[in-house]
Amino acid sequence: MRKCKFEDFIDGYLLNRLSERDKEAFEEHYFNCSSCFEKLQERDVIIRTIKNHPELLITEKTEARVPLLATLKKEVRAFFTPRQLVLAGLTALLVLVVIFVIVPRNQAPAPNFFLTDEETVRGSSITLISPVIDMNQIPSSFEWKKLGENIEYQVSIFNHQLLWKATTKENRITLPEEVKAKMVPGEKYSWQVKAFSPDGTLIAVSSRVQFKIAAQ
């Protein structure tokens, strides 16, 4: 099948990156072109599946950047193999550093996420449910997947900086009117959820998901 020139609009449309004009042109087009509509539906399912299951895309390379326990295990193993004394000594030192410096800061059992410089998280362990795509109006509530009982969630909403932060034990939070009043159609926002155990330990972080509120 020959490629239709509108196919290149599909990602832009689904990720809300098209100009108003291109968006309308593409919308009219997919009412007329069954090939594009079929591809659009297919891509929509693919993107939504990715949005709902980012964990399926976390690779070893992603994990290899932080996983403390894995590093620890490897170091311990290296420690017991007969090697040069210096190497063993260094390894022991590393183990000590890991045990006394890094582990106490991360008491949660093997978190499978990590924070980069900009505090974005890969290997997120909280799945955000809504909003994760563009919104036609200012969202009234934010929802994510529940992790377990007795967990406190901290929700943050950002525009360029932090707009609002609140905590809840539910897996859903309603925006107060005064925060909604600060949100503007046409603008991009992002949000993130962090989960804390009853003793206040950070146990999971979602990725920071962006959504746009359609201009009126």
Partner 1 sequence: MTLNKIEEDIQELVVRYRPIIAFRVRKALGAQNVDCEDLVSEILSQVLEKIQSGEFRGESSLGTFVYTITSRRIVDYIREKSKVMKYAPEPHPHPDPQETLEAQEMSERVKKALGFLKPKYRDVLYLYYYQELSREEVANRLGISPRKVSELVNYALKLIRKELKI
CA 176 to chain centre: 24
**89 vs 69: CA distance, rounded Å:** 20
The DSSP secondary structure of 108-128, one letter per residue, reads SSS---EE-TT--EES-SB-E
Q: How far is the CB of 21 from partner 1 (least distance, A)?
A: 14
The binder of partner 1 chosen from 6, 9, 54, 204 (CB under 8 A): 54
Question: DSSP alpha helices (H): ranges in 33-169?
Answer: 34-52, 60-64, 68-80, 85-97
Using the Cα atoms of residue 196, residue 135, residue 54 and residue 163 in order, give the sign of their dihedral: negative
The site for Zn ion (CB under 5 A) is made up of 4, 6, 33, 36
Task: Give the orientation angle of helix 68-80 with respect to helix 85-97, to 10 degrees.
Answer: 150
Beta bridge partners of 16: none
Q: Is 137 in the site for partner 1 (CB under 8 A)?
A: yes
The site string for partner 1 over 7-26 (x = CB under 8 A, - otherwise) reads: --------x--------x--
Site for partner 1 in 165-204 (CB under 8 A): 172, 174
Region binding partner 1 by CB under 8 A among candidate stretches 46-54, 78-86, 96-104, 106-114: 46-54
- The entry of partner 1, Zn ion, none near residue 113 (CB within 5 to 8 angstroms by kind) is none
With CB under 5 to 8 Å by kind, the binding choice for 76 among partner 1, Zn ion, none is: none
Does position 146 bind partner 1 by CB under 8 A?
no
Say how many residues make up the chain: 216
Report residue 6 as tokens.
């509108």
Residue 152 is a binding residue for partner 1 (CB under 8 A)? no
Characterize the bridge pairing of strands 152-158 and 188-196.
antiparallel
Question: Closest distance between partner 1 and the C-beta of residue 39, in Å?
Answer: 9
Q: Tokens representing 205?
A: 């972080």
Candidate residues 35, 43, 66, 95; the one interacting with partner 1 per rule CB under 8 A: 43
Is position 140 an interface residue for partner 1 (rule: CB under 8 A)? yes
**By the criterion CB under 8 A, which residues form the site for partner 1?**
15, 24, 27-28, 30-34, 37, 40-54, 56-62, 120, 122, 129-131, 133-137, 140-141, 143, 172, 174, 207-210, 214, 216
